[in-house]
Every structure is written in structure tokens, then in C-alpha cells.
Structure 1
Amino acid sequence: MQVRKSVKLPSNAPGCGCEGTCVDPKRCACARLNGSDFPYVHRDGGRLIEPKAVVFECGPNCGCGLECVNRTSQKGMRYRLEVFCTPKKGWGVRSWDFIPSGAPVCEYIGVLMKTDEVDPASENNYVFDIDCLQTMKGLDGREVYP
């Protein structure tokens, strides 16, 4: 994801001190951010155990490796996706494969910018509000839908 210079992001988390792969969610600093649990069940390619607004995974500042169980969404795409244009609703995405409930589908990549920097004249943009940073700080104000 690209981040405009005007957006102030929180400093990187220090990461966990686990080695090899994280095995105890109570000892893994990243898993503790998820309520002392790993957010994915590791069968069928990893699926979310319960819906969460934000999932905290291990990252580049962690002691564990790429095979860590807490890096599920970082393992790349598992499902064939197709971007298509509908006759009346615009663009959409569909899969050629069955996607189990809670499975990570793909990483959405874009540019993070402030609202006043968005060019409303551009027809080539898909703009939406994201409150992930507020959610990360533990602020309320979001409805969670089952």
C-alpha cells in the first residue's frame, strides 16, 4: 500500500519475540492484540474463527519466520478471482472457486490519503473511508455486523 506523506501512521509495532513459529498465543505479542488468540483456524488453508474488525498478524519486526501460523493472509492468493463488468452495477469481483466462510481472499492494495486530497473529478478511482487506525487505537464508534 502506498501512503501519502500527509498521512501520519503510528510507528511500527516492535513485533513478537517468538522464534521459528509462534506456538503459544498467550506469549506472542501479536496474538495478544487479537485477545490472546491466533485469529485463524489452520485447516482448509486458514479461516477466521470469528469476525474481527482488524486482525493483527506477525510481521517484518517479529522474530518468527514466514511459516508462522499467525501470517495467514501473507501467504498469497489461494482462489482464482475474476474482475468483471456487470451490465447495470459496474465492476465486480467473483471467484471461480468455492471460498469457505472466513477464508482470506486477497489483499486490497491502494493509496492511503486524507479525504481532502481525493480528486473527485477522477473517474478512475474507487474511494472509501477506512477507520483501521482508529480501530487500532481502540476507539469505539463502529458497528460490527455478524
Structure 2
Amino acid sequence: DEEFYLVKWRGYPSTANTWEPRRNLRCRGLLQQLHADLARAPGGPKAEQRRALRRWERHLNRTRSHRGRIAVENEVDLHGPPRDFVYVNEYKVGAGVALTPVAAGCECRDCLAEATLAGGCCPGASRNRFAYNEAGQVRIRAGLPIYECNSRCRCGAECPNRVVQRGIRYDLCIFRTSDGRGWGVRTLQRIRKNSFVMEYVGEVSAT
């Protein structure tokens, strides 16, 4: 799926034109101008690509179950939406996979306040620290487990120990990278350090 460009070399006739992969080209300004010209051409490939990406963007936003919006952008090449890609909001369990149900929950009325009590809230029951501060930012060092409240807990959806399960809060952009690495994700707004951004989910397979 690598993008190629037909190059007319300065000082050489058209018969010497060659198809070159994007990684061989060092004329970023000319490439941007080319794609800008293609975008203005009515009915051209760039116009069709933009329409396809807008349709995909609308589909993604209809599918999402989180607050954060999703934008789609490709100012690099003519690739449209990736094939064989399905946007999911949570893990998809494959055949032969059984997820272990949660064994216990907490009886806290104020999970953040009671987190410091012996055996208080879900992290304390597992002999771990409460992972979040009042702003929902992670306050434990990398590598330590995070125990959130679950369906067996008394607390509600706004509990300060339910951060990951509330989903994406920030507006994000799926964009085409300019260095040949395909599609990537970046933020469209400022995100404070140690804030939860998104969960990496997909299909859980037994093989």
C-alpha cells in the first residue's frame, strides 16, 4: 500500500520520468502543493478521497460511545479509510475466550475519601494505593496496577475511581503519517500530564 509518485527530473526528458516511493522524496513543499491542487480539482481523486474520509469520520462518531469526538485527516497521500478496520468501544471477545468476572466490590459512599482506610475501596482491598487524584489524574508510578470500582460496587458512574471505564473525554484525530508508518492518533486539545486518554482495545483471541 505504499504511495508512489511519477517524478519529472529537472534537466531530463519526460522519457526519463520514474515512479518513486514517498520515502525517496525530499520535496515536502512540492508534495503539499500537489495535494492542494488535487483537492481543488472537481471530481479528482483527492476530492473523492476527502468525501470517503468524511463519510468514515461520520461513521466513527455515530459508532463511538464516549464523549470525545473523532476527526479524520490525510494531507499526505491519496489513501482513503483503511480496509478491514472496525472501530470498537470495548474488547471483543473471540471464540474460546472466557473473561473472569469480578469477584467483589466496595461499599464506599465516598471512594476517594475512604481510599485511605484499611481495606477501603477496591484498591485498598487489593492492598494497593488509590490510583487517581481529585482531577482524575494518575498519581501512582508507572507499572503499578490500577484497580477501579466495578459493577459490584455501591458507587455510581461519577465515582472518582471510575476513570478508564468512562471512556475518551478528549477530541482526537486519526491522521495519515508522513513518514510511511500508516495511520496514527493525535490529540486536538491540550491534555494535562498523567491524564487518561484512551484504552487500547481490540479482539481477545485464544490463538
Which TM-score band applies after superposition, normalised by the shorter structure? 0.5 to 0.7
CA gap of 1:33–1:96, structure 2 versus 1, over 3 A, is farther
Matched, 1:63 2:143: no
> Which residue of 2 is the match for residue 91 of structure 1?
183
Please report the TM-score for the alignment, with normalisation by the length of structure 1.
Answer: 0.65
Cα distance in 1 for partners of 2:156, 2:162 equals 9
Q: Find runs of 4+ consecutive structure 1 residues off by over 6 angstroms.
A: none
Cα distance in 2 for partners of 1:58, 1:29 equals 8
Gaps of 5+ in 2: 1-90
Q: 1:112 Cα shift?
A: 0.8
1:106 is aligned with what amino acid? M
Q: 1:57 Cα shift?
A: 0.3
| Structure possessing the higher radius of gyration over alpha carbons | 2
Overall identity of the aligned pairs, in %: 35
- Structure 1 segment 1-146 matched on structure 2, within 5 A: 1-19=91-109, 21-22=110-111, 23-25=113-115, 26-32=118-124, 35-43=127-135, 46-49=136-139, 50-87=141-178, 88-115=180-207
Is the Cα contact below 8 Å between 1:51 and 1:102 reproduced in 2? no
Cα distance in 2 for partners of 1:90, 1:63 equals 44
The higher relative CO (CA closer than 8 Å, separation ≥ 6) is in 1
Is the Cα contact below 8 Å between 2:93 and 2:204 reproduced in 1? yes
> Which residue of 1 is the match for residue 82 of structure 2?
none
Cα distance in 2 for partners of 1:33, 1:48 equals 19
CA gap of 1:90–1:3, structure 2 versus 1, over 3 A, is same
Please report the TM-score for the alignment, with normalisation by the length of structure 2.
Answer: 0.48
Q: 1:39 Cα shift?
A: 0.2
Cα distance in 1 for partners of 2:184, 2:126 equals 31
Gaps of 5+ in 1: 116-146
Residue deviations 1:72-96 (CA, integer Å, cap 9, x gap): 2233322111011113111110001
Is the Cα contact below 8 Å between 2:169 and 2:197 reproduced in 1? yes
Structure having the higher helix fraction is 2
CA gap of 1:113–1:53, structure 2 versus 1, over 3 A, is farther
> Which residue of 1 is the match for residue 36 of structure 2?
none
Cα distance in 2 for partners of 1:33, 1:92 equals 38
Is the Cα contact below 8 Å between 1:42 and 1:69 reproduced in 2? yes
Residue deviations 1:50-75 (CA, integer Å, cap 9, x gap): 22353110011111111211112233
CA gap of 1:71–1:104, structure 2 versus 1, over 3 A, is same
